[in-house]
Structure 1
């Protein structure tokens, strides 16, 4: 009866016999008389060595691929960081340009306001004085001329008020006034002109230092733009303005009880310009529907902005 091989040796022998690399190798003459157990063990050992070499090569290839992917990932991360730095630099440059443009606009507005006040305003006042003197001179002698002069003086008074309103609009905050004083005065004039009710709430943190005049001008322009939108689009009856000044930020909120947000209104009311100016000064602007109807515009700016050379 033939001696049976152990199970492991039989499997190894079968594997070695089925491997083309070993099946085609003739056995050396000294090994032809070797016991089948030793022959199977040798075959298994050779097969194990071959598999170890194959696994080593595959492991080395996998490690090389892993290193290549890691290098590619590092390169992509560096490229991503470079892009982010470039975008941050572009955003900072854009903010500087917007601030510079806003400063140039304010300077030009101040020049126009000064010319209107000093030249046109004084000439209109002088003309009114002359007409008033002429009216007094013909009071008892020519009633028709007196009436015509009265009409002319009334029209001249309206022109003087219009010039003063234009000058006030061009000069957002008069020298010596605070943002609170300028905002409250502008809101009162707006409500009286358009026949609206209004409420003005303001709070100032005692620890707050004097604010940035440029930032105050941006907030005042936002108030002007918001009120202009209310006058043209909202059909509101009441306007509420809240101004909160703290040591870290300044918040302006304008709320009305009108028709609320509508697509044509949002596209044509200059909100993009308001948001651009707010972001250029490190702030934010939000527009939403009010809880009881109407629209809420909220602009927040940092109270103190680091000086950045333009």
Structure 2
């Protein structure tokens, strides 16, 4: 009994020495002399125990290493998330500043357009009308006395009428939507006048106003109306179209202006320039989008979608 206890004590000490020794030194540890004469069964059990203990120590070391790596990766991931959050905050701040700048620029543009339209109407328009009245009086005076001068005055009055009409068209294009006029009314009038001047067929579809909903705010209407003007100008200059269709869809969440023509399409005439870029900037500043694509039957489809902003909500 005493010999067995002594053997177990020596075996435990040997196992602890093997387990606590570094891997490089484990091979240098020799079996103690008292264990060399032990029975083979006990020696085999001792080797199994030593292997189990060594494996346990190795697993513990690997577990600690894995935990350390996991903590390091978690710290690195947290740092990257923090950096990403800072970048997103910076981008959000830059976008907000950009939107404010675009809003400010658009306000300045509208004010300048209104001033130019007012000056053209009040100064140039009135002077042209006064000149036309004088020429008409001269024409009437020369009716029976000098036919040649009468004919020249008639031609001059015709040219002057064309100039007056051109000034009125410019004034109408510069002015925003008149007070008391809805976007649908202004868009339909502008489209009808555009089609008449350029000899195009047109179709206007605006549906009906959402029941119980207040009208959209003036800024949204102004951006959509300017988009319509720019789109129709591109149709006149590039599309070589014979038909233009305008749709205005107002839902509970957004409002969309769609302009489609049957012309040559964006692949032939890419319609480069600052007009479309400015239109896209104004739409994005209000949280909207602008898309330009080819139509199903040729031509070009331009659509501008803005989130709905009601006048009652802006008050």
TM-score between both structures, scaled by the size of structure 2: 0.84
Q: Do 2:248 and 2:258's aligned partners in 1 also have CA atoms closer than 8 Å?
A: yes
Residue segments in structure 2 that go unaligned for 5+ positions in a row: 1-17
Offset from partner CA, 1:258-299 (integer Å, 9 cap, x none): 122215424348333222211111112222222222221111
Q: Do 1:198 and 1:239's aligned partners in 2 also have CA atoms closer than 8 Å?
A: yes
* Shift of residue 71, structure 1, vs aligned partner: 1.2
* Shift of residue 141, structure 1, vs aligned partner: 2.7
Q: 2:221: which partner in 1?
A: 216
Residue segments in structure 1 that go unaligned for 5+ positions in a row: 1-15
Distance 1:226 1:23 in 2: 86
* Shift of residue 208, structure 1, vs aligned partner: 2.5
Shift of the 230–154 alpha-carbon distance from structure 1 to 2, 3 Å rule, reads same
3-state secondary structure, aligned to 2:270: helix
The answer to whether the aligner puts 1:77 opposite 2:81 as a matched pair is yes
Distance 2:298 2:226 in 1: 24
Distance 1:39 1:294 in 2: 93
Shift of the 152–68 alpha-carbon distance from structure 1 to 2, 3 Å rule, reads same
Distance 1:158 1:167 in 2: 14
Shift of the 23–140 alpha-carbon distance from structure 1 to 2, 3 Å rule, reads closer
Q: 2:256: which partner in 1?
A: 251
Equivalent of 2:285 in 280, 283, 288:
280
* Shift of residue 138, structure 1, vs aligned partner: 3.0
Offset from partner CA, 1:225-272 (integer Å, 9 cap, x none): 111111122111111111223343222111111122215424348333
Distance 1:166 1:72 in 2: 61
Q: After the TM superposition, which residues 1-310 of structure 1 pair with which residues of structure 2 at under 5 Å, given as runs?
A: 21=25, 24-203=28-207, 204-262=209-267, 264-268=269-273, 270-304=275-309
Shift of the 68–263 alpha-carbon distance from structure 1 to 2, 3 Å rule, reads farther
3-state secondary structure, aligned to 1:270: helix
* Shift of residue 29, structure 1, vs aligned partner: 4.0
* Shift of residue 20, structure 1, vs aligned partner: 7.5
Distance 1:186 1:112 in 2: 19
Q: Do 1:242 and 1:254's aligned partners in 2 also have CA atoms closer than 8 Å?
A: yes
Shift of the 32–238 alpha-carbon distance from structure 1 to 2, 3 Å rule, reads closer
Offset from partner CA, 1:157-210 (integer Å, 9 cap, x none): 111111111100101312222111111111111111111111112222232212
Shift of the 294–42 alpha-carbon distance from structure 1 to 2, 3 Å rule, reads same
With 215-224 and 268-277 compared, the bigger mean Cα shift is at 268-277
The total of aligned residue pairs comes to 291
With 261-270 and 92-101 compared, the bigger mean Cα shift is at 261-270
